[in-house]
Amino acid sequence: MGLKHTIGRAVRVRADTFGYQVKGGTAGWMPLCVNPILKFAGVELAPKEIVTGGYIGCKTTIAKAREAGLTVPAYVAQIWHEEGVVERFVQYLRGLIPLSQCSTMLEIGPGTGRFLEPISKLASPASYEIYETNSDWADYLVRTYGVDAHKADGRCLAQTPDASQHLVHAHCVFVYLSISIAFGYFHEMCRVCAPGGFVVFDCFLSDRQDLASIEKWRQNQDAWQIILPREPIIALFTQNGFETVADDYQMKTFRSGYSQYLIFRKRPTRQ
């Protein structure tokens, strides 16, 4: 494969070296499975940069954003033809959630920081934790926004204490995770959310997908979209002491149509 091992520094290998291409998400599932094994050889598997899909490389994106005279979030919105999408959702969210009272926040898979930037500006939280599987993007977000980056294994929120977060959120993450991994994360979100706090995320809900959308995925030869069932998700959160705040907002998700947001509030602890 032409790998060159450098002592004291990990060698990053593009995923297409193995004939693998990432079709969506921040980093994809294959690096999560393989990198724990490769790290002992000083090697890290990195996804191929695909601007038209869900993954874009950190260094290239930052450089191109600078060339365009744009912030990274603004540049990403431009190349994905999603200008105003994030801003409209954040305005919708602030009408439902008292963001200024959310002093602790946690985001799963923040990637380029498209949602992190406007939400943290509105709320000015005392702490903002992230779990980002792509180390380049995680480092960038720490440098740019001063967030606390935890080691991400793509499955759990192990470094965050129980009932410690007033807002736990993820955007364009559960559109590509398998049902077992997604529900594992849902359990973790329930665990770390504080009483009175909120959980916010989007996904492709089974009862909101039509034939036209699915045919579009097929024609584009997209193979990463995951459709999740609404009722079991709501049942899980209900069993963990949450009430449904909203489930009617749809957001454009790059070329793949629309994802649906679910917003839950954890009932306060009775005195």
Most distant CA atoms of the chain, gap in Å? 63
DSSP 9: B
Closest CA to 245 of 193, 187, 204, 178: 193
pLDDT(203) > 80? yes
Which domains, ranges and CATH numbers included, belong to the chain?
A: 83-266 (3.40.50.150)
Between helix 85-94 and helix 72-79 the angle, nearest 10°, is 120
The pair of structure tokens assigned to 154 is 């793509």
What mean pLDDT, rounded, does the chain reach?
Answer: 84
In sequence order, the 6+-apart residues with CB closer than 8 A to the CB of 24 are 53, 54, 55, 175, 176, 222, 224, 225, 256
pLDDT tens across 35-47, in order?
555 555 555 555 4
Burial label for 161, CB within 10 Å (0-12, 13-18, 19+), is exposed
pLDDT tens, position by position, 90-99: 999 999 999 9
Task: Determine what percent of the chain is predicted with pLDDT higher than 70.
Answer: 78
- Residue 8 in tokens: 């004291």
Q: Using the predicted structure, report yes or no on whether residue 149 has a pLDDT greater than 60.
A: yes
More confidently predicted of 28 and 172: 172
pLDDT at 110 over 50: yes
- Gyration radius from the chain CA atoms: 18
- Burial label for 132, CB within 10 Å (0-12, 13-18, 19+), is buried
As a whole number, mean pLDDT of residues 229-251 equals 96
Query: Is the pLDDT reported for residue 5 higher than 60?
Result: no
Confidence check: pLDDT of 2 > 70:
no
pTM of the full structure: 0.81
Distances in Å between the alpha carbon of 5 and those of 20, 28, 46, 135, 188? 21, 24, 15, 19, 37
Written as six digits, the tokens of 258 are 């629309």
Structure confidence at residue 1 (pLDDT): 41
Query: Across-strand partners of 46?
Result: 14
Residue range 166-186, pLDDT digits in tens: 999 999 999 999 999 999 999
Out of 67-81, 144-158, 211-225, least confident range = 211-225
